[in-house]
Amino acid sequence: MSGVIIEGISASGKSIIFEKLTNRDWYREKQSKIQLSEYLTERIVENIEPTVDKRVELLEGYVDILEKVYFNFYNSRFKNTSLERVKPFFILERFHMTHSVEGGSFNAFKDIDNRLNNMNFKLILLMMNENVVKERLIDTFPRRPATWKNYCLSFGGIDGAVEKYVNMQRTLLNFSKETSLSKLIIDTTKMEWDRYIEEIESFIL
C-alpha cells in the first residue's frame, strides 16, 4: 500500500492519530513521503462555502501530485524493491469522505476515490459513541482558538453543535459504504490511542 486517509468528525481523534502515525519509526525512516493535514485538505475552504465543483477541484489538484510521485516510482526500476524505506508513503487527514459529507453526495467524488484506490490507499474512519460527542466537543474548546468555540455554538448552542456532528458522523458512516478503498472503522470512544495505532498499523503495513 502507498497511503492512508484519516477521516472522522471533529473531536474524533484525527489529529492525534495523524501525529502519532507520523512519529512512528517506520514512517520516520521513509525516504519519500507526503503528509497533508486538514488545514490544506479541508479547512482551507471551510469558511467560503465552496461548491461541490470547487471541493473536487481542490482535491484533484492534490491527487495529481500524489499520482505523479506514485507512478514515477512504480514505473521505475525500483518498483519491485523489498526495501520498505524507499517506497513512497502518503498520509492525508480528511479528504474526499469529509468533502462528500459537506457537499451532500458521494457521487461527485467517485473518480477521486477510484484514483486513490489505484494507488492502493486505505481508509481509516474514526467514529465515537454519540453519547460522548458533547463532552468531546467541549473538551476541545480550551485547546483551540476562541473562534472554534464560537463556530460550534453558532449552530444553536452546544446541543445544536452536537446534533450537527452526530448527523455528520451518521452520513460519513453511510457514505463509507460506497468507497472502493479498503477501510478500517475504529471506535475512539475510550480514547485508547496507542491501541488504535497498533490496529491501524496491522491494517496498513
pLDDT at residue 1 above 90? no
What pLDDT, on a 0 to 100 scale, did the predictor assign at position 147?
93
| pLDDT category of residue 13 using cuts at 50, 70 and 90 | very high
* 117-168 residue pLDDT tens: 999 999 999 999 999 999 999 999 999 999 999 999 999 999 999 999 999 9
pLDDT at residue 199 above 90? yes
Q: d(Cα 138, Cα 11) in Å, to the nearest integer?
A: 9
What pLDDT, on a 0 to 100 scale, did the predictor assign at position 46?
78
Entry pTM = 0.96
* Mean pLDDT computed over 95-99: 98
* 39-95 residue pLDDT tens: 999 999 977 789 999 999 999 999 999 999 999 999 999 999 999 999 999 999 999
Q: d(Cα 35, Cα 52) in Å, to the nearest integer?
A: 24
Q: d(Cα 88, Cα 97) in Å, to the nearest integer?
A: 23
What pLDDT, on a 0 to 100 scale, did the predictor assign at position 49?
83
Q: d(Cα 57, Cα 158) in Å, to the nearest integer?
A: 33
